[in-house]
């Protein structure tokens, strides 16, 4: 199955003290680098990073092996970012997208690989989501057959949440792999 990774990194991060696309680990590694590497190492053919707030600064942190795009309507919420990522993936002929958020610096390539593997037999009909301790998280695998339904269902900052809830989404337990919690703490 041909999978394109999509990193959603457009938000202003108002509760976190600024855009999470600009954040780094204590060791100085950009969260964008971590997210892109996890998706690439999981087997994504290409990785698309969707930027928005302070995109001019954030683009410098996007690894050269990823494609940076700016969601012109990023202020509309996660749905706008997801729309930008899906539109770009649609032009590549990929079977599915594996979506993650920039604010998951503990997420691993192993979790992403597990989600891809769980949906691999379904190809463009795949719909799988990582779960951590029984709670839905990221990454989310969405086959091409679902993109229209997702785009019809999203609003504001809900992204694909309602669509995933209403459709038979494969829950993939990734608890043992860690990394499912977002890091929304303010910058220090």
pLDDT tens-digit profile of 97-122? Answer: 999 999 999 999 999 999 999 999 99
Regions of the chain with pLDDT less than 70: 154-159, 168, 180-188
Q: What angle is formed at CA 131 by the lines to CA 137 and CA 19, rounded to 5 degrees? A: 15
**Residue 38 lies inside a defined structural domain of this protein:** yes
Using CA of residue 41, residue 65, residue 160, residue 143, what is the dihedral sign?
A: negative
Q: What is the pTM of this model?
A: 0.91
d(CA 45, CA 128): 18
Which CATH number do you get for residue 54?
3.90.550.10
**Residue 185 lies inside a defined structural domain of this protein:** no
User: What are φ and ψ of residue 163, in 5° steps?
Assistant: -60, -45
The rounded radius of gyration (Å) of the Cα atoms in the chain is: 15
Enclosing domain of residue 19: 3-177
* Pairing mode, strands 96-101 and 135-143: antiparallel
**Residue 186 lies inside a defined structural domain of this protein:** no
Question: 169: which DSSP letter?
Answer: P
**Residue 67 lies inside a defined structural domain of this protein:** yes
**Residues listed for the chain:** 188
**Residue 76 lies inside a defined structural domain of this protein:** yes
Domains held by the chain: number = 1
d(CA 84, CA 81): 5
Helix and strand element counts for the chain (H, E): 6, 7
**Residue 183 lies inside a defined structural domain of this protein:** no
SS3 105: coil
**Residue 184 lies inside a defined structural domain of this protein:** no
* Pairing mode, strands 67-70 and 170-173: unpaired
Residues 6+ apart with CB under 8 A from 167: 127, 146, 149
């Amino acid at each position: 199955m041909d999978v394109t990774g999509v990193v959603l990194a457009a938000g202003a991060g108002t509760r976190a003290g600024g855009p999470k696309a600009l954040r780094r680990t204590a060791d100085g590694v950009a969260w964008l680098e971590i997210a892109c590497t996890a998706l690439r190492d999981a087997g994504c053919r290409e990785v698309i990073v969707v930027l928005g707030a302070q995109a001019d600064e954030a683009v410098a942190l996007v690894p050269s092996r990823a494609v940076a795009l700016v969601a012109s309507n990023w202020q509309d919420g996660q749905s706008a970012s997801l729309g930008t990522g899906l539109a770009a993936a649609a032009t590549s002929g990929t079977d599915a997208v594996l979506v993650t958020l920039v604010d998951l610096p503990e997420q691993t390539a192993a979790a992403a690989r597990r989600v891809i593997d769980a949906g691999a037999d379904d190809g463009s009909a795949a719909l799988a989501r990582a779960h951590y301790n029984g709670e839905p998280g990221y990454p989310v695998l969405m086959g091409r057959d679902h993109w229209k339904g997702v785009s019809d269902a999203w609003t504001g900052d809900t992204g694909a949440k309602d669509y995933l809830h209403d459709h038979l989404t494969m829950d993939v337990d990734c608890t043992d792999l860690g990394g499912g919690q977002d890091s929304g703490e303010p910058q220090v």
